[in-house]
Every structure is written in C-alpha cells, then in structure tokens.
Amino acid sequence: MTEERTVIVLAAGEGKRMKSATPKVLHPMLGRTLVGHVLAAATAVRPDRRVVVVSRDAKSLTDHLATVAPDAVAVVQEEQLGTGHAVRVAVESAGIVAGTVVVAFSDTPLLRPETFAGLVEAHETAGAAVTILTAVVDEPFGLGRILRNADGEVEAIVEERDATPDQRAIKEINAGVYAFDAALLNPALGKLTTQNAQGEEYLTDVIGVLVDSGRIVQAYPAADQAEALGCNDRVQLSALRAILRDRVNTAWQLAGVTIVDPATTWIDVTVDLSPDAVIEPNTHLRGQTSVGSGAVVGPDVSLIDTTVGENAHVVRAHAVGSVIGPRVNVGPYASLRPGTILREGSKAGTFVEMKNADVGARTKVPHLSYVGDATIGEESNIAAANVFANYDGKNKNRSVIGDHVHTGVDNTFVAPVTVGDGAYIAAGSVIDKDVPPGALGVARAQQRNVEGWVKRRRAGSKAAQAAEAAESQATSSGDDPATPTTRGNTSDE
C-alpha cells in the first residue's frame, strides 16, 4: 500500500533582491510562475495534500494559488525564523504525523516531474529517514554543501556562511528538495536551534539530527545540475528562462516539430504543438496556444491562447484568444483580438485587425481593414479599407455579411446592419441600412467639380501652375480641358 504523501512548498521568503512589488515566486517564466512550476512538477509524486508556506502579507500569492492549485493549503509563517521553522509550521498546521513528506523551495522552477518521482521512489524503497536531492555543480558559491564520511555516507549539510574553507571547496550541493519520513521528521524539527550565522532554524540541521540517531540518510543525484538552480534576482531569472526555453524547444524538436531558430523561439510549457508544425524565427507561443500539423508560424509572430489549424500560415502577426482554422492565411502585420474565428481557407491579410469576428470559410479580408463584432459568411470578399463601425458610444453592435458578398474599397458598415447573400457594395459607401440578397448597395454623395477653384484660391501655387500648363496643352491639342479622361465604369451598374 502506498504511503500517505504530502508536498510542502516553502514560499514565505521576501525576495528583496528582485526589487519588485511582485512577490518573487509570482514572477512568470514560460507559462507559469516560479511557484507554479514547482507545484506542477511535484504532482508527479501523486500527493494526498499540498501545503504552501506563505508570509503574512501574501494575498497575491494566495489568490494565485486559488487559481493554479486550488487544492493547495496556504499556511502562514508569521515570522521568518528559518526553513526549519517554516516546515515545522506547515507540519503542525496540516497535522502531518505519518507518511512521506516532500519539501521543496518555491524558486527552483527547473525541477522536473521525473526527478520528484524518482526521489520519492528511492526514499520509500530504502525506508530512509530522509533522502536529499543533490547535484554536482561547477560553481557552488552560496549553496549548502553535502558532507560525507569516509564511507561516502551523508553526514550533514553545511550552509555557505557556516562552512570552513575546505567544506566550501566541495562541489556536491544541496538542491533544496527532500523526502522525509514524517514520523521521524517531527521530533527532529523539535531539536533545531538558532546557533548559526543566520540565527535561524535551518532545515538542513535536521540531517545531522537524523544521522546522529542512526537513521538511514541518503542522497539522490539530480540528472541535470540545472535543476538545483534557484532564483534570487532578475539576472538569475533571465538565465533560468533561457535554460527552460532550450529544454522546451529541444523536447518539441525531438517530437517532430521544426524550430528554425531555437534561440529566438519562446514556447510556454502550456503550449501544444503537432508533428510537422514549423516554427520560424522570433516567434512567441504563450498560454493555451496550439499549432496543428503542417502549419507554419512565423517569423515575427506572437500567439496567446490561440489555436492554429493544420496547414495554416501565420506570418508577422499578433493574436490573442483567437481560432485560426485549417489552411487559413494570416498576415503580415495582422492583429487578431479575442473572439476572432477564421474558418477553413479564409484570410486576414496585411494590416487587418479583427475583434470578436467570425469569418466564414474561404472568405478573404486581404488588407487595411477593421472587422469588429461581425459575422461574415462563406466565400465573400472584403475589399481594402473596410471598417465595421461597431460602437455607438454606449453599446457594441454586430454586423452580418452573407455568403458570396463583394464589398467595395473604402466601405463602412454602421452596425447593426445586415448584407444579404450575393450582394455587392459600391466603393466609398457608408452602409447603415440592410442590403437585400443580390442587391447593389450604394451610399455615397454625387461628385461635384468646381471649375477654376485652384486658379482662384491658390493662385501662384505649383498646383495652379500645373493646372495652367495642362489647360494650355489641352487647348493647343484641341481637347476640352474640362472633360476628364474616362477610366473604368462610369456607373454603378
């Protein structure tokens, strides 16, 4: 029978070196906060309960926990008296008396789920009093060192400030994750003192207490020394982000995704990609974004909580909360705002902005248009410089454009308005009344030319000189300068 398991995450530190109004453990890193990464990885041990130790002024952290780990219990450490004190507060508050207790710090976001699982398995298999996650690092400065006896058995952990010069030369460090036997942890916590450089109760001193009592104390080495890295300032946060970026990108490449330039590609851990997707340089995929097989995303694309269908192509675009269907083309320089749905084979082209718009299959919005709060049917064409005027100053209203509709250049649709299937809209029209199916909608003033206006009002200007030259040339050739050259159709029918 599996022992009861508890995960305790220590998150009461102030994080002053971040120099931020945001608590250190709430700083984001590729789709999760620092504490979010630790909590997610720790679920690999299938805990019966999760406890997070927080400080008195931790409302933002407890609010965050309610969102990302609603089962986790927040326990307040009223005074920061050390890591040992924090664990004692958690154990007493949660009433933990038996089973395995896993303790981890909240600022080590590179810990892997398989590391947590392996640590607990090794601990329970050996029947150990404590199993310590360790790592051998090139630069151990500032980290607790693992002290071993002549037989290689773990004797103690010594903190940097309390270590001798010889001990500081040791490169095996404490990674800050432990699996304890709860029945032995509780009395050991009661024996902690503050006789150290910090004047605090060190959790690491529990190791010496358990060794002295003759219990099994063992180390479990991390597969990757990066898992031991913590975060104390923004420089370290940036370094951890880069490591996680490379880890995520490598995993996707091995899963069959093409990432052209991993150094400029940032993919949140919450993103899902299908084999044969292609991610071009300088692309950011965030939140609950997914990309289908054969889709090409990038270069210069940011997608947040956006779905991209199979064989779609998105280039130099920004999308939030949108659905880009199969074989859709987006960009360059397109902006898709929340609620946008582009159905199969449609297009949102150059300098197109959409918001809360449902665009039908194979419908094209090629360039220079704003489509807001609109439903557009299948196989319609929205010409350049179309604007959906959806806001009347109080309410957002919706426009409906039917199937096989052809709009003209520089149309404005004043919502609420409906354009029926198969209708055409004349260029330059402002449509504020419904257009029946198959009709031509025309809403523009009659053109009027005021002859001689430039000569009278802009006498001596370059425009006047050009006009006089054109009149003179027309007179010498026998043409009537007042009759313009006809280009295209002269009527709307």
Catalytic residue annotation: 367
Distance, in Å, from the CA atom of 475 to the CA atom of 403, rounded to the nearest integer, reads 51
Compute φ and ψ for 473, nearest 5 degrees: -65, -40
Among the listed residues 289, 370, 284, 293, the one whose alpha carbon sits nearest the alpha carbon of residue 327: 293
Torsion from C-alpha of 71, 180, 87, 91, nearest 10 degrees: 60
The type of residue at 139 is E
Identify whether the C-beta of residue 8 lies closer than 8 Å to the C-beta of residue 90. Answer: yes
Neighbours of 98 (CB within 10 A): 12
Q: At what angle do helices 113-126 and 34-42 cross, to 10 degrees?
A: 50
Q: Strand (E) positions, 141-269?
A: 145-148, 154-158, 172-181, 217-221, 258-259, 265-267
Please state whether 98 falls in left (phi above 0), alpha (psi between -120 and 50) or beta.
beta
The 10 Å CB-count burial string (b at 16+, else e) for 311-341 is: bbbbbbbbbbbbbbbbbbbbbebbbbbebbb
Q: Is 273 helix (H, G, I), strand (E, B) or coil?
A: strand
Among the listed residues 365, 359, 446, 358, the one whose alpha carbon sits nearest the alpha carbon of residue 406: 365
The first and second tokens of residue 379, run together, are: 């196989």
Q: Which residue has the tokens 């006047």?
A: 464
* Alpha carbons within 13 A on the beta-carbon side of 149: 9
Among the listed residues 56, 59, 187, the one whose alpha carbon sits nearest the alpha carbon of residue 130: 187
For residue 384, give every residue at least 6 positions away whose Cβ sits within 8 Å of its Cβ, in sequence order, or none: 366, 367, 368, 369, 409, 410
Distance, in Å, from the CA atom of 149 to the CA atom of 131, rounded to the nearest integer, reads 16
Classify residue 19 as exposed, middle or buried by CB count within 10 Å of its CB (0-12, 13-18, 19+): exposed
